[in-house]
Amino acid sequence: MKKVLALIGILALVGCTTKDFSSPGLDPIPGSVTYGGQPRTKLMKSPPGSTFPHNFIDQWGQQVDETYMVQPDRSLKIVHREIRPIRFNR
């Protein structure tokens, strides 16, 4: 019985922590690495499936945090984007 409960707990935890990157990706916005098309240089040293962040300020003054994934053909796909206003401390 304890083994069954432990297995259920592990499966529930794995289900909560895995991300699904199988979607077509988000559309690029001004400031995105892929805005205006894929970069001319290919990421030859990065293995397919690897991810990296890109942060920038958009045209409306908001902080944009994007995560890109390297595809098997070495193109990039935006898999996550978070936009939030910039807060200045006084």
Give the count of domains, the chain: 1
Average pLDDT of the segment spanning 54-78? 94
Q: What is the average pLDDT score of the chain?
A: 82
Whether 33 is covered by a domain: the verdict is yes
For residue 31, the enclosing domain spans 24-90
Whether 63 is covered by a domain: the verdict is yes
The residue with greater pLDDT, 36 or 89, is: 36
Within 8 A by CB and 6+ apart from 57, the residues are 31, 63, 64, 86
The residue with greater pLDDT, 8 or 39, is: 39
Q: pLDDT category, 41, cuts 50, 70, 90?
A: confident
- Considering the entire predicted model, what is its pTM? 0.69
3-class secondary structure, 17: helix
Whether 45 is covered by a domain: the verdict is yes
